[in-house]
Amino acid sequence: MVTGESIPISKNVGDNVIGGTVNKEGLILVKATKVGSDSFLSQVVKLVEEAMGRKPAIQRLVDKVAGYFAYAVMIAALSVFLAWYFVIAVGGIAMAIIPAVAILVVACPCALGLATPTAIMVGMGKAASNGVLFKSGDAIEILSKVSVAIFDKTGTLTEGNPQVTDVIPLETAAIVTSIGSSSGQQLNALDKDNQAKSEQDKVVLSIAAIAEKGSEHPLAKAIVNYAQNKGIQQINDINLEQFEATPGRGITAVYNGMTIRVGNQSFMQDQHIDPSSSSQIVERLQVEGKTTILVSIDDSVIGVIGLQDTPKLGTKEAISALKSLGIESIMLTGDNESTAKEIARKIGIERIFANVLPKGKVDIVTSVQNEQKQRRRYVAMIGDGINDAPALTAADIGIAIGSGTDIAIEAGKVVLVRDDIYDVVTAVEIARKTISKIKQNLIYAFLYNVILIPIAATGLLYPAFAGIAMAASSVSVTMSSLTLKRWSPSRKSNNN
């Protein structure tokens, strides 16, 4: 099983299930929508195989150095032959050939060529077994140099499943005045259907749910689900006359002649609606770390809805671990600053960017990259949503949460198979360990040549023994890379 959930997860009709998971109870009918090469496991295998075949920058550098090294060795062998033939063993061609051939044999750059790909292969395999998929060797190298990690908030640091905590209507007079007589009849009818004439909060909730039913935003879904749980069931039977979403701000809908707007304070102001009557309520809810949504009819705000999203399990531990690795964590969110600060305080993030529109995420990433250029360090972006894809692409390296959208996964250079934010730490650890092993292998390979080439030049190393030594160097580099298999993450995933 590839998902690794620790507890059973409820599935409803139409939900996707993954091959290898177990039906705990009851009888289900499953339709295979992806089989063979299209299955998730096949895609993972293909991704790992393709990644292993791509050379990281350090490998390209080694290949270039090996090319010059080969010329240097041939020149050294020729020089040694001439020295033996004309100076040391004058006229003794056999005596001159032996050290020259020994140099050519012992200096074969096999070890140099194996140093990087063997470590990359083992490192990628180890990462995949721990729920981290690297799309290329370059991704490993870049991630090992990351100094800043920018996290999207909703769905990445938090559960992405906000819950309605407060529905606060404004004064009755304000509601009646705002909707007018004809709209008032519609509202009263809706109130009657819900058997909640005396409950103004259900009126506000009903109006908000009617408008939000056309949106796919997590906050919209939370409002609609909460309304249905409160017994407001007729939402799905209502047809909107008009619907328009403003990404990151709010929505506008028309129902039975009423213009309904649901969104944040800045959205209301842009629509020329005065939100001042709700300012105190909004401020109080935001201090509590809640996201606030205003509901208006025509030109007046009729109520405020408060929602709260909780941090994912292990998020605080992951941020702390990144800090110990020398990586600064930054939170990026379209939420208000007060709510963002409260979430950041809970998980240990000190720097935040709030009230960021989807199109502004790329600008933030670029700005942070410019800060890091002088240090020659890299910036990682971690996200899961459709609007995170541009930022994932713009960052030096994008890390996509596997439970997120397909476009985010496509945009990321690293994919976390499990919905566990601590896997970001695991990815950094294995990247640094792999690059460290590559450097160690290269040191072994060069040190071997530095020691044995002079010995071969003196004639003390017979060509047959030089061949054995050359083979031993390749084996030693390979064995060194295989020691990566013994590596284990600093903390086992919560989903293990």
Q: What tens digit of pLDDT does each residue of 411-425 get?
A: 788 988 888 889 999
The mean of the pLDDT values for the chain is: 80
Angle at 208 between CA 311 and CA 266, to 5 degrees: 70
Active-site pick, 152, 388, 396, 419 = 152
> Domain coordinates of the chain in residue numbers?
57-121+433-486, 137-159+311-412, 163-308
Residue 55's pLDDT is 57
Residue 178's pLDDT is 43
Residue 379's pLDDT is 92
Residue 24's pLDDT is 67
Decide if pLDDT at 44 tops 80: no
Indicate if the alpha-carbon torsion angle 428, 321, 492, 495 is positive or negative: negative
The one-letter code for the residue type at 356 is V
- How much is the pTM? 0.68
Determine which of 188-192, 256-260, 445-449, 456-460 has the lowest per-residue pLDDT on average. Answer: 188-192
Beta bridge partners of 331: 151, 352
Residue 171's pLDDT is 60
pLDDT confidence of 194, banded at 50, 70, 90? very low
Decide if pLDDT at 106 tops 90: no
Residue 196's pLDDT is 41
**Distances, alpha carbon 334 to alpha carbons 162, 280, 352, in Å:** 14, 21, 11
User: Which CATH number applies to 137-159+311-412: 3.40.50.300, 3.90.1280.10, 3.40.190.10, 3.40.50.1000?
Assistant: 3.40.50.1000
CA nearest to 187, candidates 206, 212, 161, 201: 206
> Which whole number is the average pLDDT over 214-227?
84
Decide if pLDDT at 243 tops 50: yes
The β-bridge relationship of strands 397-401 and 163-169 is unpaired
Decide if pLDDT at 487 tops 60: yes
Decide if pLDDT at 67 tops 80: no
CA nearest to 308, candidates 204, 162, 155, 138: 162
User: By percentage, how much of the chain surpasses pLDDT 90?
Assistant: 14
CA nearest to 347, candidates 321, 367, 369: 321
CATH architecture, domain defined by 163-308: 3-Layer(aba) Sandwich (3.40)
Which of 48-52, 159-163, 188-192 is predicted most confidently? 159-163
Q: What tens digit of pLDDT does each residue of 254-263 get?
A: 888 889 999 9
Q: What tens digit of pLDDT does each residue of 162-180 get?
A: 889 889 888 643 444 344 4
Decide if pLDDT at 48 tops 70: no
Angle at 413 between CA 145 and CA 385, to 5 degrees: 115
Angle at 427 between CA 333 and CA 3, to 5 degrees: 85
Decide if pLDDT at 141 tops 90: no
Residue 45's pLDDT is 64
pLDDT confidence of 495, banded at 50, 70, 90? very low
User: By percentage, how much of the chain surpasses pLDDT 70?
Assistant: 83
Determine which of 12-16, 18-22, 78-82, 347-351 has the lowest per-residue pLDDT on average. Answer: 18-22
- CB 280: neighbour CB atoms within 10 A? 10
Q: What tens digit of pLDDT does each residue of 196-208 get?
A: 434 677 888 888 9
Q: What is residue 361's three-state secondary structure?
A: helix
Decide if pLDDT at 285 tops 60: yes
Which of 110-124, 246-260, 419-433 is predicted most confidently? 419-433
Decide if pLDDT at 376 tops 80: no
Decide if pLDDT at 444 tops 70: yes
Residue 324's pLDDT is 94
**Distances, alpha carbon 268 to alpha carbons 79, 256, 271, 291, 442, in Å:** 82, 21, 5, 15, 61
CA nearest to 496, candidates 328, 330, 332, 314: 314
Decide if pLDDT at 151 tops 60: yes
Decide if pLDDT at 447 tops 60: yes
Q: What tens digit of pLDDT does each residue of 305-328 get?
A: 998 888 888 899 999 999 999 999
What is the DSSP secondary structure assignment for residue 311, as one 8-state letter?
Answer: B
CA nearest to 295, candidates 179, 165, 154: 179
Residue 7's pLDDT is 61
Decide if pLDDT at 8 tops 80: no
Q: What tens digit of pLDDT does each residue of 424-442 get?
A: 999 999 999 999 998 888 8
Residue 392's pLDDT is 85
| Annotated catalytic residue 298 | no
In terms of Cβ atoms closer than 10 Å to its own Cβ (0-12, 13-18, 19+), residue 228 is middle
